[in-house]
Structure 1
């Protein structure tokens, strides 16, 4: 699926001017990469932050709670993905092992307290936009049930009007979830807090470095801005002296 473009709609930038999104694409993903050491290191960073106080007090989380409240959502009922991960880590002491790439993204998300979504590019139809829903979009849960987002809800919507995330950073879709057969991936991290402009590039560098070590590819990355909101997926170059797949 060549030439997929990802962007945030102008209305999202207008209503959330503090938004700092990072995007990353890669190919050559396999379900057997060794990420345990990296996952452990990032998870330890998250544990250290939690030792100083619960995730609800983190500025990264508070910013998303304000955004959810502005959308008419109760922030303790609908939590951004990074808050849910940190809450689980605080309560259970660890994060679940699902797939090497998902595990790595979850650990980085917890370490930086920033939502990170990983989507199977081959399960997305056409371009993908973060935009307000009109209510006709179709969302597939992890259990296979179909839902329609509420009008004005923020979704990740493709050209076929399939919603690949509901309530912005609250819940991804089972349709484009990473699975053992996944080879091409789009990763999106989004932050709204005051120091996001400094923190998100650090997150992106950390994640890209860990991915390069695990899958021996150099992912394509970008920080998006309202003036340059689009990221187009194309082939990624393999790391020097290593082999990798397209993205």
Structure 2
């Protein structure tokens, strides 16, 4: 563990542990090295001897550290023992011993996470896995234990327990995000205590498109861009999120946005005259929609709050979109795209699409020919009159979801505002311990892009 400028547990005895200890110490961190043997690196500020194979050892270790040094800010999980024996020769005790120590990193992560949440502080966890966990190892217990290390990394934990972490109120909470590196060497097993030259490669499971991954291509139709040349669409792919009812940080953001608008005391006419809103009214007219009868999504929420009301609290993700919309004066939406395959186009309706109204999916409608809709490849429209109404298929509900966040603008210079709003959303998602893809911005010059491929990638066409 480290304290001071940053703060990690590493196996300080040799190899990767020694390298991590030295690197952190050189960066002016105060390093506390923990090992099963009493031979930690002299670069460490202090050293402890702990056997993670003993039940409860991780919790006792972190209590001792907290009492003596405070709560660490960085945890490097590098525990690893290796017994050179064939799988057929393993007895239960030896197999369990390797697994208990090597997989015991999960309990260190838990012990630190609990303390960081209680302290309201961010931090980082670095889990050192091994290529043996993916390609197999002649030493069966070692390979299996390293697979466990990878799968119990914070990203995996968050995907199953995000409700508790997301509602902790910790800003950014980067300790919940997985930093995984497998370290490979062409001649030497670098998980041993031998000092070697090492090549470090990031092999996170999300670094490349998994086999069978469902990508989504979003396209702005050329006919729409001709009508509204300044239209900009910002997108963020969130492949896996457990949507919760309440998140304190989001609630505070929405309340602050409402308070700011209340203080501005804008009239209905003044809301309509805001540059971003006035441009949307012009855009609606350009596609033959009366903006006095059908308000864009941003004008609708702004008017409601400007007259002194507060928005209903739906869930953490919808509330986040509403807060961002109030701040940016732009339409911001959360769309559950778990049921959408292949493509999603923002285009003029043909008139034969099927739209299921929000809250009334048993009363299908057909958009009018020429109105702007979000349409998939199955002939379904998921909005009416651009962003006036969202459809029932893509509504965001509680539980595990595959989400596409959208931010739209139609005013001059709108791209900059869209990018700022995307940045706010990305930062807020990180605060909820949610991994999201790299934001993608589409416009007339870049009308199409692919999302939900590689974890952080967004490809434009």
Contact 2:237 2:436 in 1 (8 A): no
In structure 2, C-alpha distance between the alignment counterparts of 1:235 and 1:164, rounded to whole Å: 25
Report the more deviating stretch, 103-112 or 25-34.
Answer: 25-34
How many aligned positions are there?
236
> Residues 59 and 106 of structure 1: is their aligned pair in 2 closer, same or farther, counting only changes over 3 Å?
same
Q: Which residue in the other structure is 2:255 paired with?
A: 40
Gaps of 5+ in 2: 1-212, 457-461
Q: Which residue of 1 aligns with 2:265?
A: 51
Structure 2 residue 320 is the aligned partner of structure 1 residue 104: yes
Aligned with 1:29: secondary structure?
Answer: strand
Name the SS for the 1:28 alignment partner.
Answer: strand
Per the alignment, residue 236 of structure 1 pairs with 455
> 1:46, CA displacement in angstroms?
3.8
Contact 2:219 2:345 in 1 (8 A): yes
Q: What is the RMSD of the two structures over their aligned residues, measured on CA atoms?
A: 1.8
For the pair 1:123 / 2:339, whether they are aligned, the reply is yes
Displacement of 1:216 in angstroms is 3.2
TM superposition shift of 1:10:
1.2
Q: CA offsets per residue over residues 194-220 of structure 1, 9 Å max, x none?
A: 231321111111111111111332432
2:328 & 2:446 partners in 1: Cα distance? 24
Given candidates 201, 212, 217, the residue that maps to 2:419 is 201
Q: How does 1:174-189 map to 2 (within 5 A)?
A: 174-189=392-407
SS of 1:187's partner is strand
User: In structure 2, how many angstroms separate the alpha carbons of the residues matched to 1:92 and 1:44?
Assistant: 9
Q: Taking CA–CA contacts closer than 8 Å with sequence separation of 6 or more, which of the two structures ends up with the larger relative contact order?
A: 1
Match for residue 391 of structure 2?
A: 173
Match of 1:2 in 2: 214
Higher alpha-carbon deviation: 223-232 or 131-140: 223-232
Distance 1:92 1:212 in 2: 31
Match of 1:190 in 2: 408
Q: Tell me the TM-score normalized by structure 1.
A: 0.88
Which residue does 2:353 correspond to in 1? 137
Aligned match for 2:239, one of 23, 27, 51: 27
Counterparts of 1:180 and 1:134 in 2: how far apart (Å)? 33
Which residue in the other structure is 2:374 paired with? 156
Distance in 2 between the 1:209 and 1:195 partners?
22
Closer, same or farther: CA 84–156 of 1 in aligned 2, 3 Å: same
Identify the range of structure 1 (1-10 vs 101-110) with the bigger mean alpha-carbon deviation.
1-10
Deviation at residue 226 of structure 1 after TM alignment: 2.4
Runs of 5+ consecutive residues of structure 1 not aligned to the other structure: 238-247
* Mean Cα deviation higher: 89-98 or 32-41: 32-41
Residue correspondence of structure 1 range 71-86 to structure 2 within 5 A: 71-86=287-302
Deviation at 1:92, TM superposition (A): 4.4
Q: Which residue matches 1:147? A: 365
Measure the CA separation in 2 of the matches of 1:202 and 1:235.
23
TM-score w.r.t. length of structure 2: 0.49
Give the deviation of 1:7 after TM superposition. 1.3
- Over 3 Å counting, the alpha-carbon distance change for 1:52 and 1:59 in structure 2 is same
CA offsets, 1:198-245, max 9 Å, x none? 2111111111111111133243211213232222122435xxxxxxxx
Q: Which residue of 2 aligns with 1:242?
A: none
Q: Distance in 2 between matches of 1:51 and 1:157?
A: 37
* Inter-partner Cα distance in structure 1 for 2:386 and 2:400: 23
